[in-house]
A and B are shown apart, each in its own frame.
Chain A
Amino acid sequence: MKQEKIYEDLFPVLRRAKFIFFIVAIFFIFLILNFWKVQILDHDGYWEKSEANWMREITLPYQRGLISDRQGIILANNRASFRVSLIRENCEDYDKSCRKIARLLNIEEHVLKERIKKYESQPHFKPIVVKENLTFEEVAMIEARKLELPELILQSEPKRFYPFESFAAHVIGYLQELSPEEMRRDVYGERRLGELIGKTGMEKQYETALVGGHGRLIEVVDSLGRGREEVARSEPERGQDLTITLDFDLQKEVEKLLEGREGAIIVMDARDGEILALASYPDFDPNRFINRFTSEEWLDIVNSPEFPLENRAIRGLYSPGSVFKLTIALGALDLGIATEETTFVCKGETRIYNHPFSCWREGGHGEIGFFDAIRDSCNIYFYNLGKEMRIEEIARYARMMGFGSRTGIDLPGEKSGLVPDPQWKIEARDEPWQLGETISVSIGQSFLLVTPIQIAAHTALIANRGIRVTPHLFKSLSLNGKKRENRFNPPGNQVVNIDTSVFEQVIQGMWEAVNKQGTGWAALVSEYDVCGKTGSTQLISRDKSEEPEEEKEEGEEEEEEMKTHSWFTGFAPRENPEIVVTVIVEYGGMGGETAAPLARRLFNSYRKKYDRQEPTQTH
């Protein structure tokens, strides 16, 4: 160690101070370089972030188009509804906010969190709906705690509302939240997560017309998420209003008739395929679906043993039963296998291809002609016709009548049914066609599966003497009262290549079935010339159709009667037909007993309402 100096020598001290200052100067340059990087090189990224900070885009909800019946009665309306949303960005402590909000809104905390989790992918500043359809008290409560809970915002939006609840639910359909999976599909490209979209029925079919455009509001917000001023605003566009062909009064009656049963009824204008009433029972209240309810509640409805969500009119697969005899009759006449004069003897039972086949009437019909065979629905007569036609021709005529393919009705999810033939059986079951099966098909049993709407369309085809119409519900679209589009464009009304006289003969049989004490007598409306055909059959379940046909035909009448589904399809008046009515009642018993009387009331109601050209053509 050096000696302490006795004089002041500040030189080394000053030198060190100078050195420190030199380092300070260097450090200034280092800092400026850092600012250069952040402010010049990385400027764009930070600029975007700062813009995102202070601009907020709010979606202004649009009004979904109304749906009304042909008379203008509104079946699907909108009403104002308050909802409360959470903005995660504004939560000081996410868990704490969740706890508070759950208590305030009376929701389970885990339910709330699960809900929010669904929207995790969304940016933090986007509001997530946590509760809808707030009561007035809830709105007041949230409003009062506005400062305490800056993460909650109240919004009012027009909300779907079905004033008649379950009325025509299967036609109108319902709305549900767009799920993240659906979001990925192109159809919903413009839509947002959590938006309500049509899931079935008209709501789905005409989704693109019914939806409007969202409005957008861009506003300046401060760090607490409070709006300061509007920057830009585009008003929402309302959706187009849809008028459908349903007739409120007829639909109401149809639903009343079906109440307590399981089945479907279709009332259709024979001339152009406009559906006046279409109901499937059991049904549901579409208002329940709009509330963003929990998945358990949803599963409850989906898993109900009665399948209330299934629209039986377009998705129920039934054997046509005796209704199919009309197709056989048309084919046999057209092919020349039968004429008006063809007769067979019905002893109540017969053996064909070494198997016993029975008629529904135990004693038999005796010697029976063409019209009587349709009138009394004699099985033996049609076994013989079917046997002559062979399965290939039966299948050809069935397809000509529209079976085995969709009718093209503007309802989503329509099923096409099944017209069996040998080729199908080989492909689907790897078994050769049994000749006995042809006999079963002749009376509408076996593998043959049809939907009620196919039966209705085929009835219209007969009523129009070979002119096919496409069943539809679309009547017109309008925007703000102005008509936009008022034509339904079906695939084209084709004419079936069968002679008109053939139809006239079959129609004669149908007329007699109702008006001459036939199986359809219960559908008789005085002076209205109803023509129709009944049918009784089972809903074919998979294991049942596995069974050999003979067993089903044999001696199970009593037991089967209990489980028999009841068909009636018909049209009126005979000349210039206007209306087709098709009824299926599951477990309804014989068609003549259950379905036909329902049809009669509908013919009556239609006539009262629409048939004004009084003395009609009577026969």
Chain B
Amino acid sequence: MIDRSLLRHIDWVLIGLLLLNSIIGVAFIYSSSHYLPGKYFLRQMIWIVFSLLALFLFLLIDYKALVSYSVYFYILAVAILVGVLLFARFVAGAKSWIRFPFFQIQPSELTKIVLILLLALIFSKFRLDYMSWKKGLLSGAVTAIPVFLVALQPDLGTALSLVPVCLGALILAGINRKTFVYILIVTLLTGVVAWNFGFKDYQKQRLRTLISPSKDPLGSGYHITQSKIAIGSGGFFGKGYRKGTQSQLRFLPARHTDFVFSVIGEEFGFLGVVLAMMCFFLFLYRLYQSIGFSGDRAGVYIVFLVAVMITFQFFINVMMVIGLFPITGTPLPLLSYGGSSLLTNYLGVSLVLNVKMRRFVFV
């Protein structure tokens, strides 16, 4: 089933960078939660092993087959999202989880992979230099459905992270600047309407807090304030591993999940932040570099969209912890604790590896 020669074309460097970033994550998950019951770092390591296995298993299937079946995956994913909305119980104010006996998973995360495959399908036969309206509207529509369903959960962070995947596809397909501006305007208008009619109060509060976090330091501004204090007090060299007062004394909220980067900032300072960013940058660089190693158009789209998906989440999270973006509950890819996100990103990388190793096969 799998050609032995394919194994030689697996990008081990990319896998290495993937693991490097994951291990950095485990280190800081340990630092910020070792005193809590639940052994989060251990669970995260299990998730890494599990995701790695999934990554390799996923490689067995030719990405072209995945692309061609993507419509069915998509229908299934939408059905699950609807099902979650109808049947799941609220966890932390949102219906985003499916519970299994030993773990739980967020179907919305895995929807990203399905969407990438579907968009790759849509654009795989598109050979124009510039975008067509037909394709543009179609890709917009297939993105809007899951965005809407996930936003209803409500999980605004994950819902928003689907949008750049679509935008990425449009840019790649050659959208002209005017259209891009139109899309931005429409997005903004939607935002205004959503602000008035669609947003829950806590979401509005979070956006307001971004503008002036000190107004209500114990309310929703607490997260941003404490995160900035953690990062700022880290200075150049940081307070030392497991010596961050903000994280060890629990002032920092969600420190092993969404705010794990603040822990790096506090305990290893500016130096740690730059090093961690460099590690992640190298990983992203390898991803973007892989675009050139795609055998076909669908492959280019897959690699690029995976890269955009991970990049976008990374930026959102890092901007969030330093107070440049509202708190939306977007985890830091690979580093934050959380199985669904980790698995999704591993599967995304798996797709990239898949495209890359099968680049010579079809000619």
Contact = CB atoms under 8 A, between A and B. Distances in A.
A58 interface: no
A14 B300 contact: yes
A305 interface: no
A5 B231 contact: no
Contacts of A49: 229, 232-233
A223 B232 contact: no
A53 interface: yes
B233 A46 contact: yes
A27 B319 CA distance: 11
B324 A34 contact: yes
Given A14-B300, A24-B284, A32 B249 contact: no
Given A32-B274, A50-B233, A16 B174 contact: yes
Interface string B248-286: 011100000000000001000110011001000100110
Interface stretch (A37-45, A65-73, A181-189): A37-45
Interface in B74-113: none
Interface in B302-336: 304, 307-308, 311, 315, 318-319, 322, 324
Contacts of A8: 127, 296-297
Interface in B289-305: 291-292, 294, 296-297, 300, 304
B174 A24 contact: no
A24 B311 contact: yes
B58 interface: no
Given A10-B300, A24-B311, A223 B251 contact: yes
Chain B interface mostly: helix
A429 interface: no
Interface string B39-71: 000000000000000000000000000000000
Given A1-B128, A46-B228, A46-B229, A17 B251 contact: no
B250 A32 contact: no
B134 to A, nearest CB: 11
Contacts of A45: 232
Contact of A36 (B174, B229, B270, B311): B270
B250 A5 contact: no
Chain A interface mostly: helix
B245 A39 contact: no
A35 B265 contact: yes
A228 interface: yes
A24 B287 CA distance: 12
B220 interface: no
A54 B236 contact: no
A39 B270 contact: yes
A136 interface: no
Contacts of A47: 232-233, 235
B171 A16 contact: yes
Determine the interface band of chain A, counting residues with CB < 8 A from chain B: 35 or more
Contacts, number: 138
B229 A53 contact: yes
Nearest to B323: A38
B288 interface: yes
Contacts of B121: none
B300 A39 contact: no
Interface in A88-124: 89, 91, 124
A43 B277 CA distance: 20
A32 B288 contact: no
Contacts of B285: 21
A4 B128 contact: yes
B127 to A, nearest CB: 4
Interface of B: 126-130, 132, 168, 171-174, 218, 226, 228-236, 245-246, 249-251, 265, 269-270, 273-274, 277, 281, 284-285, 288, 291-292, 294, 296-297, 300, 304, 307-308, 311, 315, 318-319, 322, 324
Q: What are the 10 closest A-B residue pairs judged by CB atoms, nearest first? A: A46-B232, A50-B233, A21-B288, A39-B270, A222-B249, A223-B250, A5-B127, A54-B245, A223-B251, A46-B233
22 contacts: A1-B128, A2-B130, A4-B127, A5-B128, A6-B127, A8-B127, A14-B292, A16-B171, A16-B174, A17-B288, A35-B265, A35-B270, A38-B231, A38-B232, A45-B232, A47-B235, A50-B251, A51-B245, A53-B246, A124-B218, A220-B249, A221-B249
Interface of A: 1-2, 4-6, 8-10, 12-14, 16-18, 20-21, 24-25, 27-28, 31-32, 34-36, 38-40, 42-43, 45-47, 49-51, 53-54, 89, 91, 124, 220-224, 228
Given A1-B132, A49-B229, 10 more contacts: A1-B128, A14-B292, A20-B304, A21-B307, A32-B273, A34-B324, A35-B273, A39-B236, A50-B251, A223-B251
